[in-house]
Amino acid sequence: MRVIISGGGTGGHIYPAIAIANKIKEINPNSNILFIGTEKGLESDIVPKAGYDFKTITVSYLRRKISFHNVKSAGMLLKGLWQARSIIKDFKPDIVIGTGGFVCGPVVYMAAKMRIKTIIHEQNVFPGITNKILGNYVDKIAISFEEARKYFKQKEKLIVTGNPVRQEFFKVSTKEADLKYKSQQNKPLVLIVGGSGGSASINKTVTHMLMKYSKNPFEILLVTGKSHYTEVRNNLLQHKEVFEHNRIMEYINDMPHALKACDLIICSAGAITITEINAVGKPSILIPKAYTAENHQEYNARALEARGAAIVIREQELNGDDLYNNINKLLNDKEKLNTMKKASLDASKAQATDVIYNEIKNLIKN
């Protein structure tokens, strides 16, 4: 099997691509897989670390208004299309898979025009602009929610698969996870993550909370996001006692172990993070990022809240005191925590990666 996978910009597009690639490799160890992304996107760091060959093309986004930026972007898009064509021509894939983000636009479009089999995967209820356009050209559109159907005109191409997550989330051992991530074995661990890029408002609120309640009876591991790390660290260094009970990191490369080790996760409500939380069956406090397209993160979060697996706090209403009280209340209510854990696990759809793999196989066979 020769496969090109493209998706990038944020972790929410990259990790599903890796989950699909891992599945293909697991079943076909001799398969040849090539990722295409951009140099600037998170994928240029994550994909090689995951052990896959990686090539880049140039892309840019378009603004809604007429602008010089758009003229420049159109030029870059043409260049990207040309680069994608040349990589596809050399690699000769049996199939090209897109998992969203601007970069997969030129790659999947070019492959379709070159009459190579193509499939895209959409992680959210509200599809991204790239996937919406690509829907016109690809052979198959894998969606994660029934509700996403109405946003695609090409009904005959749709298949509901759910979101693929890496198998490690289902296999990881609690003992290993605790050893790796719990620095104080006698205290509950609260993991706080603002998505793959971090969240300025979560970082700010948690910083205030830690300064005010530095002797918290739990341990906090705050993952700031790479671009926020220095600022958060400098602010917290003014209150050194905070670091006696808590830690900060800029990014976690081993999220399966970190998630497994925590007693509670507080995070923004990206679709892949939520799927991973369910895979390990953890209770969560979800803080949907405001101003995401169609407010899709709040939609993701409310779905989990309705199942009793999560508590939702709107970003606009976030403050350190409430957050601290919510954490304390939850960690002291074992019955509620257990109910939330069970509801979280019940929401897990472990078979998504298999369903997508079967679609890929069928497309290649036909």
Ligand X SMILES: CC(=O)N[C@H]1[C@@H](OP(=O)(O)OP(=O)(O)OC[C@H]2O[C@@H](n3ccc(=O)[nH]c3=O)[C@H](O)[C@@H]2O)O[C@H](CO)[C@@H](O)[C@@H]1O
Q: Which residues are annotated as a binding site for UDP-N-acetyl-alpha-D-glucosamine?
A: 10-12, 124, 166, 196, 252, 297
Considering the complex, what minimum distance in angstroms separates the CB of residue 206 from ligand X? 14
Residues 52-111 close enough to bind ligand X by CB under 6 A: 100
**Residue window 164-203: x/- pattern of binding to ligand X, with contact defined by CB under 6 A:** -----------------------------x-xx-------
Instruction: Kindly list the distances between the CA atom of residue 98 and the CA atoms of 90, 111, 141, 183, in Å, as whole numbers in the listed order.
Output: 19, 10, 10, 39
DSSP codes, 311-325: EE--GGG--HHHHHH
Tokens, residue 329 = 């209340």
Considering the complex, what minimum distance in angstroms separates the CB of residue 296 from ligand X? 6
Instruction: Examine residue 162 and tell whether it contacts ligand X (CB under 6 A).
Output: no
Question: CA 61, CA 165: separation in Å to the nearest integer?
Answer: 27
Instruction: Examine residue 289 and tell whether it contacts ligand X (CB under 6 A).
Output: yes
Angle at 285 between CA 247 and CA 193, to 5 degrees: 40
Considering the complex, what minimum distance in angstroms separates the CB of residue 126 from ligand X? 9
Where do runs of H (alpha helix) occur along the chain?
A: 11-27, 43-49, 68-91, 104-113, 129-134, 168-171, 174-181, 200-212, 229-237, 242-245, 255-261, 271-280, 296-306, 320-331, 334-346, 352-365
**Residue window 232-251: x/- pattern of binding to ligand X, with contact defined by CB under 6 A:** -------------------x
User: In this chain, which stretch among 4-12, 205-213, 229-237, 339-347 interacts with ligand X, using CB under 6 A?
Assistant: 4-12
**Residue window 295-314: x/- pattern of binding to ligand X, with contact defined by CB under 6 A:** -xx-----------------
Considering the complex, what minimum distance in angstroms separates the CB of residue 82 from ligand X? 27
Instruction: Examine residue 292 and tell whether it contacts ligand X (CB under 6 A).
Output: yes
Question: CA 244, CA 215: separation in Å to the nearest integer?
Answer: 9
Which residue number, 276 or 359, has a Cβ lying nearer to ligand X? Answer: 276
Considering the complex, what minimum distance in angstroms separates the CB of residue 332 from ligand X? 28
Which run of H or of E encompasses 249?
Answer: strand 246-249
Instruction: Examine residue 263 and tell whether it contacts ligand X (CB under 6 A).
Output: no
Question: CA 38, CA 183: separation in Å to the nearest integer?
Answer: 36
Contacts with 139 (C-beta within 8 Å, 6 or more apart), sequence order: 112, 117, 118, 119, 157, 363
Angle at 26 between CA 22 and CA 30, to 5 degrees: 105
Which residue number, 8 or 80, has a Cβ lying nearer to ligand X? Answer: 8
On whether the CB atoms of residues 307 and 190 are closer than 8 A, the answer is no
* Residue among 24, 108, 142, 223 that touches ligand X (CB under 6 A): 223
Question: CA 334, CA 354: separation in Å to the nearest integer?
Answer: 35
Which residue number, 96 or 255, has a Cβ lying nearer to ligand X? Answer: 255
Collapsed DSSP state (helix, strand, coil) of residue 127: coil
Contacts with 361 (C-beta within 8 Å, 6 or more apart), sequence order: none
Question: CA 122, CA 254: separation in Å to the nearest integer?
Answer: 24
Considering the complex, what minimum distance in angstroms separates the CB of residue 18 from ligand X? 9
**Residue window 19-58: x/- pattern of binding to ligand X, with contact defined by CB under 6 A:** ----------------------------------------
- CB neighbourhood size of 343 (10 A): 19
Instruction: Examine residue 13 and tell whether it contacts ligand X (CB under 6 A).
Output: yes
Which residues participate in the annotated binding site? 10-12, 124, 166, 196, 252, 297
Instruction: Examine residue 341 and tell whether it contacts ligand X (CB under 6 A).
Output: no
Instruction: Please work out the total of residues on this chain that contact ligand X, with binding judged by CB under 6 A.
Output: 24
* Residue among 141, 266, 271, 304 that touches ligand X (CB under 6 A): 271
Which residue number, 19 or 107, has a Cβ lying nearer to ligand X? Answer: 19
Binding site for ligand X (CB under 6 A): 10-13, 15, 100, 123-124, 193, 195-196, 223, 251-252, 255, 270-273, 276, 289, 292, 296-297
